[in-house]
Amino acid sequence: MRQLTRLIPALIFFTGFAATCCGESEFSLRVLKSSDSGNVKRAGTALLCSYKDEQYLVTAYHVAYKAKQLALGHFDGKEHEDLQNFVQSSFWCKPEVDLCIFKCKPDQLDRLTEQTGDFRARVFDIATPKKGMPVRVAGNPRITLFQDQPYKRTSYEPPNIVSMATIAELSTAGERLDELVVPAASNTTLVMLGSFDIVYGYSGGPIVSGEKNVVGVLVGGDPDKGIVTWGIPLSYFGQVIDQGVKLELSNTLAWPGKAFAADAYGSDSSELVLRFPIEHSAPEERFLEGVAWVSSSVRLSESGRLDGIVTVGTDEFLKGFHGEVIVFLMDDAGNVLWTTEKEHRYGVPVGISKVREDEVWTENVPRHILPRVRRISILQRYAPTPNPNIEDFVSDLLKDGALMKTLRESAKSLQRQIEN
């Protein structure tokens, strides 16, 4: 659970539709987070929601952030599975509001909730939170004094901890999230709950009213002060889904500028979330019988700026070349989303050898492309520069005043060395 000083004002609620939320004791799923060493740690909570016949898993951003692997589990340890087996794609994630939304595979909600007899889904009507409203906070925290033993049940802790609280205060704030616009400021709400018992591991769990309506998703707080904030309006959740579908953001875990990439388990990386800048390099290619070379690298920043460097050189005096670099941005299926629009040419002229030179270029990628990018491919095209007629070549050298000056100075220096 994060401290209050790091929390963002936001609230989750539904208007006009119902959400399916499930977990042991009716409420929540357990989220397990694997470390680099493979140990399970930092367990959090999640809930399943249904919107327009699609199923989504919702949790806090900081629960999923930088996980090497996520798993969903029943608290008693009898069943669990990797998130990648349950989730079709990640849909939206915003660190500022501490929320991740994953799109589930078809029919996974029914399959998961039928795995054990006491693990039941409940369909909740969703209510708008009000000051003074009594609520319950359901979480699946780590147990055994918060050690990394996620499935070990003890006699003194229930399998799913449900705490009672009261909404003590509502305050408002507004925010524009790039192309996804939060509703009016009055609809984006900070919820402060009265003193109640919470522990680490509640993050991402549902906040449920006394009438068993879901009014929010818990994202953090200060247990000592009994203050908690959570999510964003689920009326906004609906807008995120609708606009995301329209923008084809079906595999987006994060919005440009904070976290990037990713289907739920990472496509080109073992990390759940990749961060800007994204860098890619093409290996050095040798050609012209191995005497010439070219290599390229690019860097895609959170603003959409694409910076490139081409390094070229040749080992033989009379073997020059020229070419161009084309960069392709692709989605996870290999479809080309965008290619460089300018000509980025390079070359080494005839008469130059043992030179390694960098050509620098920049382009701007449309921001709406960024959330869908999964792969960067660099194409390096090149061709030899024809050798000039030897007489013309010598004539051009003699006309080069700077070169002739250098040759004369070199000759004088050599003469002085001979005389000494």
What pLDDT digit, counting tens, does each position of 211-258 carry?
777 677 776 655 555 455 554 445 556 666 665 555 444 333 332 222
Does residue 384 contact residue 288 with C-beta atoms inside 8 Å?
yes
pLDDT of residue 100: 73
In words, the CATH class of domain 278-384 is: mainly beta
Please write down the long-range contacts of 180-185, taking CB distance under 8 Å and 24 or more positions apart: 180/92, 180/239, 180/240, 180/243, 180/244, 180/255, 181/239, 182/232, 182/233, 182/236, 183/233, 183/235, 183/236, 183/239
Question: Do 189 and 171 form a contact (C-beta atoms < 8 A)?
Answer: yes
pLDDT computed for residue 185 by the predictor: 31
Q: What is the mean pLDDT of each run of 10 residues along the chain (420 residues)?
A: 26 26 41 51 66 73 62 52 59 61 68 48 58 72 40 40 62 38 36 54 74 70 51 54 52 29 28 59 77 84 87 73 81 78 78 67 86 78 63 61 68 69
**Amino acid identity at 171:** S
Three-state SS at 419: helix
Token pair listed for 15: 């208007």
Place of tokens 């399959």: 111
> In a 3-state reduction of DSSP, which class is residue 411?
helix
CA 355 to chain centre: 39
**Fold observed for domain 4-246:** Thrombin, subunit H (2.40.10)
Predicted structure pTM score: 0.47
pLDDT digits over 341-385, tens only? Answer: 888 877 777 665 556 667 889 999 987 787 777 778 888 777 776
Helix/strand/coil for 106: coil
Question: In this structure, is the dihedral angle defined by the CA atoms of residues 80, 86, 89 and 90, taken in order, positive or negative?
Answer: negative
Sequence-distant (6+) residues with CB within 8 A of 416 are none
CA distance 278 to 298: 8
Predicted local distance difference test score (pLDDT) of residue 156:
35
End-to-end CA distance of the chain: 80
* CA-closest candidate to residue 140, choices 65, 230, 47: 47
pLDDT at 145: 32
Domain boundaries, the chain: 4-246, 278-384
4-246 and 278-384 share one CATH topology? no
* pLDDT at residue 362, rounded to an integer: 93
CA 334 to CA 347: how far, in whole Å? 30
Nearest to 386 by CA among 332, 349, 336: 349
Look up tokens 């000051």; give the residue: 131
Q: Is the separation of the CB atoms in 169 and 134 below 8 Å?
A: no
